[in-house]
A and B are shown apart, each in its own frame.
Chain A
Amino acid sequence: MFALVLAMCMGADQAPLRLVRQMPTSEFPCERVSGLSIRGSKWLVGGMRGLYLGSPDGKWKEASKNAVRQLASSGAEDWVLYGNGSVDKLDVAKDQLVFDVFQGAVKRPWAASMSSVPGGLSFGGHGGWFDRVSGKPIRELYPSQLGQREVTAQVTLGATRYIGTQDGLFVFGPKGFKRLGFGDGFRDTWITSIAVSRGKVLVGTYTGGLVEIDGEKAQQVDAPTSKIRSLLVRKNRLFVGGLDGVWAQRPSGWQKIGNGEVTCLSEAGGELVVATVENVSLFL
């Protein structure tokens, strides 16, 4: 019942999705595409075989051979998180690449995830996170409650920070700290993704579907797959990427917009990017 109400609310200002481009992953030099940034005619693409700058007509320049885990844009800069945990920063327009941005800048200069926070990005790492927000010094936090856990995803809502790990959701708010796990309604405590939709925190789990955080409880909500790998809220619409496909939420239910395992769900150049092991699709 809750899921239906949520969908209907979202439907009020949703425009239909329009597929503007689709390319098989074989046309990308990096195979499995885990991130895409579009800056004018230049594309920056990262995947299992490294990071490449070029154009979709096949002219690619290798920027790194390291496997890319995630790519995020912030202003004129693109941030690249590699599988080994290091982070590079690129300015595509200036063709500049800054290596290992956080080496020497923070205590633990490797990350497990990148997430948007107001004014910039936050990097989830080993037992904590560090924020890189425009105009402010880097702020790093390693709360004792996280112990040795890796931060897999995070989101900020008001003054509360929701931190995903492979061992539950950690909520740091004005009222204090709370860990949410199996005993609080999670079917799986491996948090893969977190998004905020209409003031609610939605949490994707590795095998336990989609969970909405309601106060200090986790409530299971309708999802097209139980194996969620990525969540995105764009123009008030929720997108869910899973091990078995990608879906867009519609007033009438879930619309499948990608087949196979999702490898990237993001926005680039004003378009929705849906990458799966099969292809990369751009939607308006």
Chain B
Amino acid sequence: MKRMISGVIVSSLSLLASAQSMERVYNRDSEESFRLKSHHTDTVVKGPMVKQKTLFTYDNPFTKLTEASYWFGIPNPGVLSGFGYYYKDEFVPGILMDKDKAWFIYTAITSRNEDPGIMTQLSPQSYHAQIYPLAVGFPLRVELDTVNFLDVTKEGLAVPVPNVEELEGEHDNFTSNVVVAAPQTVREVTIDGKKRSLVSNPSTDPVWVQYYAQKHVDGKTYVVGMIHTDRPNDPYRFRGLDHVMWARPDNGPQDGSVKLFMGTRRGAGKIELVSDAANRTEVLKGVIHANEKGTDTAKLWAHAKLQTMGYYDKNAVLKFSMKYQIPSSQTALLAVPEAEMKLFKAKEAEYRRKQQEDARRQREWQKKQRMNWNNSSGGDPEIRIEMPGAVKVKAVLPDGREFDLKKDAKGFWGGNFDIPATAAEGDYTVKIVGIRADGTTFEDSVHYTVDRTAPTGSITSEKGFYHLKPSEALARAVAVFGSGEETNMIPMSDGSYQLPTTKGRIVKVMLIDQAHNIGEAKCSP
């Protein structure tokens, strides 16, 4: 039996509601706090979804170059959709990018005492930003954009407000502007002594579902919604909605009576929310129109999805978060003032080039080989060595010259060096020094031989084979026949070489050693 159910549940209680939870804002050098002067939030409510932009303004009493450290959280399943700050009077928006790239550019710009801001995600709910240096004489102003859900309180559905209790300064100098989409309405109430905006409930029934959909640029429709239920422990499933992610609101009842969902579908159509009770199946029905375009619902879905992607590789996470323009463990938001954009673009190009360099084909090396030539008469061989834990590696040549090795994409340190054509014959050692992040060092070494002496050898013929005994280990021995043809002799385990006499009459054998010195052995009569 199927029946439609609607109604409103009122049994659950609210937790402390907050849109953005400010944890600490301080001067990184002196650790003195920036005092909050005021904060203002602009809110747009669409169904259960809340889109907010909050400007936090802090006193900046510092007269020296100051780096602000900014810590905050966003309650689950909310997502950070934007970050920016004011450099003097210019608003500088953060640009989402590969975290490595962001740090590369940030470091390059801050080294000039210029002023970008960077924000990284520490966990799906916590963030850190640093801004350096702040313009002297101007307040610190930071803007955060979030997408979240309405808070469920015992008074009704409330617009979240920033939680600034942990900050020093003016907590109550707060202004807010709330816009709701019809047929929703909003009214002001006082909850726990604080002014809050309550949004009308979608139904007077105890059980209801409310949702909002947007068509994303990828062609899919992303639907987010909230369910109120009087059966918190029963499972719910969707028809007409795919890839559904479920969440319990951090700001709301924790007993399961409020369920949040985010899913996708193709185009407009019906959805059904189904739950099986003891003697019946309950179905809540709705229609998705998919006539509104936007990215907000997709961000909420993607943020929830990202939290299930822990086992994905770094590049997959990066690609996913860049597609939906949401922060992740592999991204950062970098804010660069207009005056620094030229440098930003130059650094961005430099990083892109660096990535392309890293993506170059790596030379094919035999396993565990540390140099491409170990025997030489002169030239520029290449070193390739693993130095676990090193942040910098240098090579010290036998004559005392030093050069830095470069780390490749596979984690090996490498570089070329010069073996002078005049170097005396003998064995040489190149010392490899690894430098760890804490400044301590460790050493390894590679060895090479300078050899300019041609090998010699004698050839005999017995029992149907030519036998060659060379004076040293060879790279190969090439037999030349009377016809002018050549063939490689077959190496034996004792270092000698053999060839069946049936191959032909050998005129000479060219002996080629590891350093490519060539000697010649004549066949004994």
Which residues from chain A sit less than 8 Å from chain B, CB to CB? 31-32, 48-49, 64-67, 82-86, 97, 99-100, 103, 109-110, 181-184, 187-190, 206-208, 227, 243-244, 260-261, 277
- Cα separation A277 to B416 with both chains bound (whole Å): 14
A183/B517 in contact, CB under 8 A? no
Q: Interface segment, B137-145, B262-270, B360-368?
A: B360-368
Pick 7 A–B contacts, CB within 8 A, sort by A. Answer: A67-B382, A85-B363, A181-B478, A187-B518, A207-B516, A260-B421, A260-B422
Q: Tell me how far the C-beta of A67 lies from the nearest C-beta in chain B, rounded to whole angstroms.
A: 5
Question: Using Cβ atoms and an 8 Å threshold, which residues of chain A touch B380?
Answer: 32, 48, 67
Quick one: CB contact mask for B400-419 with A, threshold 8 Å, 1 for yes? 00010010000000011110
B356/A183 in contact, CB under 8 A? no
List 4 additional contacts besides A181-B478, A183-B484; criterion CB under 8 Å.
A48-B418, A65-B357, A66-B360, A183-B483
Q: Tell me how far the C-beta of B365 lies from the nearest C-beta in chain A, rounded to whole angstroms.
A: 11
Nearest opposing residue in chain A for B363, CB measure: A84
Which residues from chain B sit less than 8 Å from chain A, CB to CB? 353, 356-357, 359-363, 377-380, 382, 403, 406, 415-418, 420-422, 478, 480-481, 483-486, 507-508, 510, 516-518
- Cα separation A207 to B377 with both chains bound (whole Å): 10
Of the candidates A99, A181, A260, which one forms a contact with B356 in the assembled complex, judged by CB atoms under 8 Å apart?
A99
- Cα separation A184 to B356 with both chains bound (whole Å): 45
Q: Tell me how far the C-beta of A180 lies from the nearest C-beta in chain B, rounded to whole angstroms.
A: 9
Question: Using Cβ atoms and an 8 Å threshold, which residues of chain A touch B418?
Answer: 31-32, 48, 277
- Cα separation A65 to B356 with both chains bound (whole Å): 12
Question: Using Cβ atoms and an 8 Å threshold, which residues of chain A touch B378?
Answer: 243, 261
Q: A183-B483, A227-B377, A261-B378 are in contact. Are A48 and B361 (CB under 8 A)?
A: no
Nearest opposing residue in chain A for B454, CB measure: A207
Nearest opposing residue in chain A for B372, CB measure: A83
Q: Tell me how far the C-beta of B435 lies from the nearest C-beta in chain A, rounded to whole angstroms.
A: 18
Question: Using Cβ atoms and an 8 Å threshold, which residues of chain A touch B353?
Answer: 97, 99
Of the candidates B357, B362, B485, B518, which one forms a contact with A207 in the assembled complex, judged by CB atoms under 8 Å apart?
B518
Nearest opposing residue in chain A for B355, CB measure: A99
Nearest opposing residue in chain B for A188, CB measure: B518
Nearest opposing residue in chain A for B422, CB measure: A260
- Cα separation A18 to B356 with both chains bound (whole Å): 42
Question: Using Cβ atoms and an 8 Å threshold, which residues of chain A touch B517?
Answer: 207
Q: Is the interface of A mostly helix, strand, loop or mixed?
A: loop
Question: Using Cβ atoms and an 8 Å threshold, which residues of chain B touch A67?
Answer: 380, 382, 415-416
- Cα separation A190 to B420 with both chains bound (whole Å): 20
Q: A48-B416, A183-B486 are in contact. Are A85 and B361 (CB under 8 A)?
A: yes
A109/B486 in contact, CB under 8 A? no
B406/A65 in contact, CB under 8 A? yes
Question: Using Cβ atoms and an 8 Å threshold, which residues of chain A touch B362?
Answer: 84
Question: Using Cβ atoms and an 8 Å threshold, which residues of chain A touch B382?
Answer: 67, 83
Question: Using Cβ atoms and an 8 Å threshold, which residues of chain A touch B518?
Answer: 187-188, 207-208
Question: Using Cβ atoms and an 8 Å threshold, which residues of chain A touch B481?
Answer: 183
Question: Using Cβ atoms and an 8 Å threshold, which residues of chain A touch B406?
Answer: 65
B361/A84 in contact, CB under 8 A? yes
Q: A83-B382, A84-B362, A84-B363 are in contact. Are A243 and B483 (CB under 8 A)?
A: no
- Cα separation A84 to B417 with both chains bound (whole Å): 15
Q: Tell me how far the C-beta of B476 lies from the nearest C-beta in chain A, rounded to whole angstroms.
A: 9
Nearest opposing residue in chain A for B414, CB measure: A67
Nearest opposing residue in chain B for A84, CB measure: B363
Question: Using Cβ atoms and an 8 Å threshold, which residues of chain A touch B379?
Answer: 261
Question: Using Cβ atoms and an 8 Å threshold, which residues of chain B touch A261?
Answer: 378-379, 420-421
- Cα separation A182 to B483 with both chains bound (whole Å): 11
B360/A86 in contact, CB under 8 A? yes
Question: Using Cβ atoms and an 8 Å threshold, which residues of chain A touch B357?
Answer: 64-66, 99
Question: Using Cβ atoms and an 8 Å threshold, which residues of chain B touch A109?
Answer: 361
B516/A184 in contact, CB under 8 A? no
- Cα separation A142 to B382 with both chains bound (whole Å): 28
Nearest opposing residue in chain B for A229, CB measure: B379
- Cα separation A221 to B481 with both chains bound (whole Å): 23
Question: Using Cβ atoms and an 8 Å threshold, which residues of chain A touch B359?
Answer: 100
Most chain A CB within a 10 A radius of its CB, from B362, B417, B485, B486: B486
- Cα separation A85 to B516 with both chains bound (whole Å): 22
B360/A84 in contact, CB under 8 A? yes
- Cα separation A188 to B512 with both chains bound (whole Å): 9
Nearest opposing residue in chain B for A48, CB measure: B416
Q: A65-B357, A208-B518 are in contact. Are A277 and B510 (CB under 8 A)?
A: no
Of the candidates B416, B422, B480, which one forms a contact with A182 in the assembled complex, judged by CB atoms under 8 Å apart?
B480
B416/A86 in contact, CB under 8 A? no
Question: Using Cβ atoms and an 8 Å threshold, which residues of chain A touch B416?
Answer: 32, 48, 67, 83
- Cα separation A181 to B480 with both chains bound (whole Å): 9
A182/B360 in contact, CB under 8 A? no
Question: Using Cβ atoms and an 8 Å threshold, which residues of chain B touch A188?
Answer: 516, 518
A182/B420 in contact, CB under 8 A? no
